[in-house]
Amino acid sequence: MYIVAIGWIYVVLMMSITETSVIAGVMTFFLYGILPLGVILYLLGTPERKRRRQAAEKKQNTGAPSEDASIQAEPIPVTQLQDSL
């Protein structure tokens, strides 16, 4: 999906470079490139955002640890270490 967006930005950049004035070039770049591409990428990204939100809600409701939570072992008391030697 992003390769198409990069290609479109390239095409619009080339179109804006050939405009007769700087103002026309900037307006072409924003109105033909950035604005429509931003809307399209936002709309196409909606299902992924929905899946992430639902997964986060499910994880929160089930009490499962989050992905970034590290598992820490409890320290062994010194008395148990001495007995095992």
61, burial (CB in 10 Å: exposed 0-12, middle 13-18, buried 19+): exposed
Across all residues in the chain, what is the average pLDDT?
83
pLDDT > 70 in the chain, percent: 73
Q: What is the DSSP letter of 27?
A: H
Could you give the CA distance from residue 36 to residue 6 in angstroms, rounded to a whole number?
A: 13
Any idea which of 18-22, 28-32, 40-44, 56-60 has the lowest mean pLDDT?
56-60
Domain positions in the chain = 2-62
Cα dihedral 60, 65, 69, 73 in deg (nearest 10): 150
Does the global pTM surpass 0.85? Answer: no
- Amino acid found at 46: T
Residue with more model confidence, 64 or 48: 48
